[in-house]
Structures are given as structure tokens and as C-alpha cells.
Chain A
Amino acid sequence: MIWLAWRRHRLLLLLFAGGIAALILWMLLEGHAFELAQRNSACTSAAQPGTPPCTAVLGRLSLANQAFAINLLLLLLPCLVGVVFGAPLVAGELEHKTNRLAWTQGISRTRWFVSKCLVVGLILVGLAALLAVVAQWWSSHTFDAQGFSLDVGHLHLGTGETRIGPQYFAITGIVPVAYTLFAFGLGAALGAFVRRTSWAIVGTVVGYTAVALLMVLVVRPSLVPPSFSANQNFNSGFSVGVPTSAWDLGEGFRFAPGTHTRSGASAGAIAQTCQDRNNMYAPYLRCLVKHDVQAGAFFQPAKNYWALQWREATIYVAASIVLLGVAYWAVRRWRA
């Protein structure tokens, strides 16, 4: 069955591997260009960003602002896996009725499903892992380039994005592998249930995007308790005191340490009440102080990067296992 699973999917898998190889090559070239630029003292000196030697180095490989394109590709890749490999895994055979052929040979549906998942799933997870390793190296030379965020002519190098920021977090570390597995499982489960590849594809795109947004907007900010930078001087903005290497979660309120148990209301609700009652700045501030509420900014410091990576990857892998279980249940349960 392993032979059949490989034979049936090898063309797409090889094409996909070829695409990933091209992407890796692109990242290596671009990362190398950045590396050269960084080593060049003329470029890293903030006073001389436009000097001829630096421009020459960068001009050699003018891939610099393609970082965004690569980033986007890496973000979309797991979803693509779900669409190309997950959705048709079961639904494709149901549509062509080839499952009727497979399920009346000498092997059980269980072996049929497990073999397909193992062969296709393991190859995809392996490719995703390889890509994540390269992405880690690549991004350490682009986004994360320390002290290298300056304008060289029309090229804006270094986005100011940090390792733990959403754009970068999702393409490095171990989460890309977990995302890939999840998208694969989501596509397979939807395909086994709706029995139509086209609908499974739509469902995979919508479902994957919804989960990704939910994760970055709601779950990840507090997956590890965030740090807080208290700042009573609103005039200078809330994010004062948030390190540049951190993921800024924006304005927020909390009770001064040790005082939060006093009332049932949340710090945010009290702050809102204070604001509603006082339209002047000074009384508003006094109201906050009176209720032991601190204003400031929440943020995830860079040191939480791996803790967040592991927790988020665990959630996605657990969800993938559930989804593949659902697909397996549908395969066993349903008519051919």
C-alpha cells in the first residue's frame, strides 16, 4: 500500500519538493546578499547609508526587497499543502470511486488510510521542517538583522520586524511544521466528510485562515503570560518601555501588582468607567490611581519566543491528530 500511495502522489510531491527547493535557493541567495552587506562596514554605519561601496554590494543581488514576497510565500505554504494534498487525499478517491477498487483488494480501509497519511504526511512534514530551518537562517539575515535597519537609496532593508513578531514568528522555529500538518489534516478531514474535493478546498482555505487569525489575534498574545510596561505618562504613547525586540501587544490596563483581587471588575473595565466619567486627563489619571489600575502596554519579550513556539506547535499538532482521527472515522464509517 505504501508503494501505491507513493506512486499515486509522487508527481505532485516531486513538483512540490521542486518548488520548495527553488524557494530555498532564493532564500540562500538573498540571505547571502544581506550577509555581505552586513559585513561591509560602509553599510552598517548609520551615518553613511548611501555610500557607493554599500550600494555596490547590495546592487550585486538586488533581491533585497523581495523579502516580503518570500515571507508571504512561506506564510501561505501550509495552506497550499492543505489544498493540494489534504483535500483530495480521501475526497479525490471518493469522487473517482477508486476507493471501491482499493477497498475490495486484500487490505483494510485502516491500512489504506494510514499508509496514505504516513507517506504523504511524512514527506510534507519533512519538507516543511527543512524549509523552516532555512527560513530561520534566512530571516536572521533579513528581518532580524541587528543594527541593520536603514534606508539605502530606495531600498528599505530590515523591516524592523522582530523574531517574535507575527510576520516572522509564523515562518520560523517549529510552528511552520505544525501548521503544515494541521492544514493537511484539515483538508483530509473535510474531504472525507463532504466527499467533494472542491468543497474541501474551500473549507480548508477558510478554516485554515480563520484558525491562523484566531491564533495570532486572540490566543498567542496570552499563550505565555505577557509582560507589561506601566506608563502613566500618556502623552508619550503607550508603548514606551517596550523593547524593540519584543512583540508589542498594544495599550492595556492592569492592576498594580498585589492589588487585583479587590474587585470583581477587570482592570480594562475600570479604566473604561474612569474614562467615561472623566473627560479631562488629570481626573482620569487620578481615577485610575485610586483604583490601583496601571496603564501601559503589554508585550511578549523576545525571550518568550521558544516557549510560544512550543505551546502553539503543541496546539496545532493536537488539532491535527484530532482531524486525522475524524478523517479516519469517516473513512471507516461511510459507504464507498
Chain B
Amino acid sequence: MTPALEAIGLGRRYGTKWGLRDCTLNVPAGGITGLVGPNGAGKSTLLRLAAGLSRPTTGSVLVFGQEVRPNGTAHLGKLGYFDQLRPLYGSLRVEEMLTVGRRLNPAWDDAAADAWLTDLAIPRRQKVGKLSLGQQAQVALTVCMAKRPDLLLLDEPVASLDPLARRQLLEILMGTVAERGTTVFLSSHIVSELEPLCDNLIILSASQVQITGSIDSLLADHRILIGPRDGPRPTGVEVVSSRETGRQASLLVRGEPEGRLSDWREAAPSLDEIVLAYLARPLHEYDERAVPKVAHEGDEQ
């Protein structure tokens, strides 16, 4: 199955500083994939490159198998892009913002846009610039979704929104995804935000994919092993992180330990713990050829 988004050796340099460097990743078609990583990991740069807003310095980015070119139009109909800053024409009324969408997009879904605005109780005659931050985000998402994209790129969609606005936004999003089968690729630096939402997760740190896979398989493949600090350690597993306190050692590992060591016990880590363990890994340990691969949701096994 063609991935919804594919980055191959993708890099973007701003002056002498790399915003994203040599990034290779796949976003499977269907479902919601979360992109998590610390600030400066290159999440926004990656999404802008995928949306054709920025020109890659190296490598390429493909949307449903087709290369994205900044001046091309082929990708435009397939993509919905929600910018971190949620730029809208502030001097336009909400209804005029929808007119913009209708006039610029051939597949515009006027009825759906209308229904969303009604559900959200956003005043049509209001100037967009006078709406609250939450409402602006909702209008921006409405414009993104009403163009009926196959792939929705959302850069920090719920950052700086209050809990209510956050829930409303996510409800619309989830509803549409379920109804239309849109692939969603969204970034966040808060894992707890992504866990209930996403099927798959990509952990990005300094442009590099630390691990990628479905949330279920990530949870199933990792365990915390706690045992004596001195003495034999479990074998056959990849130790992602280890912490030693007093006489005890606590390891976060990937894989099933071989055999059983009687004095070690096992615990299930939370997604948060897994993500933090990968992000805390010193970067020099990273080896490009050894990107751990875990089955994606929807992958043919």
C-alpha cells in the first residue's frame, strides 16, 4: 500500500542551520499518525515541506507516491494544511472566508463547512480577526477539511487552546476522519494529547526518527524490567533507557527477554514513558540502519 506521506533523505537548511536534516519516514495511509518530538526537532519544517510551502534542500517528499513540488498543483487537491500560526485573512468575515475556500478549491464541500460552523456556533458575520483563538482554529480547520483532502497535515492543532475548544476541535476532526477515511498527520510536543487520538506514532528527535509504529504495538513491544543493579541482566532485548537507584536497576526495553531471571520483574510502561525514553537517548547512539520498525496499524502483515 502506498504510504500517504513519504520522506526520503529530506532536509531543509535555513542559512547555515538545518531545520530538518536527512529525514526518512513513512506515514501509512488511513488513520491518524502523530508526530511527536521536542521543540526544534523539525516537525513544522517537515510539515511545511510536505505541504509544498518550502523547497527541500536535500531529498524529496512524496504524497500518495507523487513528489511534492512547491510550484506544482498536483498535490494541492490532496492536501489540507493547518499551520501552527493558523493564519487567516483577519479582515474577512467568517462567511467570506468560506467563499475564499469555495472559490479556490474545486472539491469544496460547502454543506459540510456550513454544518461544522453551525455545530460550533461560530457567528458567520463576525470578522475572522475578532474571533477568539479557539474559534479561529476551528475556522482554520473547517477551511482545511472542507476542501476534502486525502491527507490532512496539522501542525500543533490544539496548542494554546483551552480544554473546551480543544475537545470541540478534536471532535470535528475525529468525526471527519471516521466518515471520510482521511489520513491525518499531526504534530505535537505533548504525548498525552496524542495518545487517545492517534493510531500510529512517529517519534522525531533532531530530524531523526527514533521509533515509529502503531500505539498498540509500541505499548506491546516495550516493557519496564526492574531487578538488582549488580548481577546478570536480561538478554535478547534492546535497552532503550536504564536508570539505577540504590541497588535497583530499572530498564525500559524493547522486545521479549530471553529466558527468565527470577529476581527481575516486569511492568507495562505508559506511552509517555516510552516516548521520553527514546527522546532521552543520546543522539550519537543513533544508527541510521537500525531504525527500529514496528508494524503500523493497517499494514499488511
Residues of chain A at the chain B interface (Cβ within 8 Å): 1, 3-4, 7-8, 11, 96-98, 100-110, 332-333, 335-336
Contacts and interface: CB of A to CB of B under 8 A. Distances in A.
B48 A335 contact: yes
Query: What 3 A-B pairs have minimum CB-CB distances, sorted nearest first?
Result: A336-B53, A105-B104, A104-B81
B53 A100 contact: yes
Given A4-B89, A104-B79, A104-B81, 19 more contacts: A7-B100, A8-B92, A98-B88, A98-B89, A100-B48, A100-B51, A101-B89, A104-B51, A104-B80, A105-B76, A105-B105, A106-B106, A106-B147, A108-B72, A108-B73, A108-B76, A109-B71, A333-B55, A336-B48
B87 A105 contact: no
B70 A332 contact: yes
A105 B101 contact: yes
A7 B76 contact: no
Contacts of B87: 96-98, 100-101
Nearest to B87: A97
Interface of B: 12, 48, 51-55, 70-73, 76-77, 79-81, 83, 85, 87-92, 96, 99-101, 103-107, 140, 143, 147
B25 to A, nearest CB: 20
Nearest to A103: B53
Contacts of B101: 105
A1 B103 CA distance: 7
Contacts of A335: 12, 48, 53-55
A97 B89 contact: no
B103 A97 contact: no
A96 B83 CA distance: 12
B73 A104 contact: no
Given A98-B87, A101-B88, A1 B104 contact: yes
B176 to A, nearest CB: 17
A332 B199 CA distance: 36
The residue in A101, A102, A333, A335 that gathers the most chain B C-beta atoms within 10 A of its C-beta is A101
Contacts of B48: 100, 335-336
Contacts of B51: 100, 104
Contacts of A96: 87, 90
A333 B105 CA distance: 23
A330 to B, nearest CB: 12
B19 to A, nearest CB: 10
Contacts of B143: 101
A7 B85 CA distance: 22
Nearest to B99: A3
A106 B77 contact: yes
A224 B132 CA distance: 62
B127 to A, nearest CB: 12
Nearest to A332: B71
Contacts of A11: 91
The CB with the most chain B CB atoms within 10 A, among A4, A96, A100, is that of: A100
A105 B81 CA distance: 9
